[in-house]
């Protein structure tokens, strides 16, 4: 099983409401009904910085999800970052590389 813990934060005040609600909608849209991708919010709904764990059955599911996720976040006014990656059942801390390189770091951490 693969997974990542993502943070979502509003860029300015573009979301017009709770970050959690916008992030949940983005994740659902990126999943596009695939039962092989599941997620769970890890923070309270009213936090300004929401954390979500997203789990994938395969590397292909993860690639599909991330290809959808980034543009949806940009359109919705959210900044996304990857905090941790889950590879073969082990939770790994992501290296502190340059900002804006977050999805690529998650892919590197999962061996993609």
The candidate with the shortest Cα–Cα distance to 58, out of 34, 22, 32, is: 34
For residues 98 and 12, give the distance between their C-alpha atoms in angstroms, rounded to a whole number: 21
Domain carrying residue 105? 2-109
Q: Collapsing DSSP states into helix, strand and coil, what is residue 105?
A: helix
Residue 85 pLDDT greater than 60, yes or no:
yes
Express each pLDDT in 28-76 by its tens digit. 999 998 999 999 999 998 888 899 999 999 999 999 999 999 999 989 8
Residue 24 pLDDT greater than 60, yes or no:
yes
Please give the tally of structural domains in the chain. 1
The pair of structure tokens assigned to 16 is 């017009």
CATH number at residue 51: 3.30.70.1130
User: Residue 1 CA to chain centroid, in angstroms?
Assistant: 16
User: Residue 2 CA to chain centroid, in angstroms?
Assistant: 12
Mean pLDDT of 7-24: 81
**107 pLDDT band (50/70/90 cuts)?**
very low
Q: How far apart are the first and last CA of the chain?
A: 13
Q: Model-level pTM? A: 0.76
The structure tokens 């951490």 sit at: 109
Q: Are 7 and 41 in contact (CB under 8 A)?
A: no
**100 pLDDT band (50/70/90 cuts)?**
very low
Q: What are phi and psi of 79, to 5 degrees?
A: -95, 135
Mean pLDDT of 4-13: 86
The candidate with the shortest Cα–Cα distance to 61, out of 39, 31, 104, is: 31
């Amino acid at each position: 099983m693969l997974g990542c813990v993502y943070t979502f934060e509003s860029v300015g005040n573009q979301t017009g409401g709770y970050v959690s609600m916008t992030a949940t909608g983005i994740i659902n849209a990126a999943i596009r009904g695939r039962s092989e991708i599941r997620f769970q919010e890890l923070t309270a709904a009213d936090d300004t910085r929401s954390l979500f764990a997203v789990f994938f059955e395969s590397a292909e599911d993860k690639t599909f999800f991330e290809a959808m996720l980034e543009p949806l976040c940009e359109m919705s006014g959210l900044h996304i970052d990857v905090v941790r990656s889950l590879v073969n059942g082990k939770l790994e801390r992501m290296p502190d590389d340059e900002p804006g390189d977050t999805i690529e770091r998650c892919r590197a951490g999962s061996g993609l």
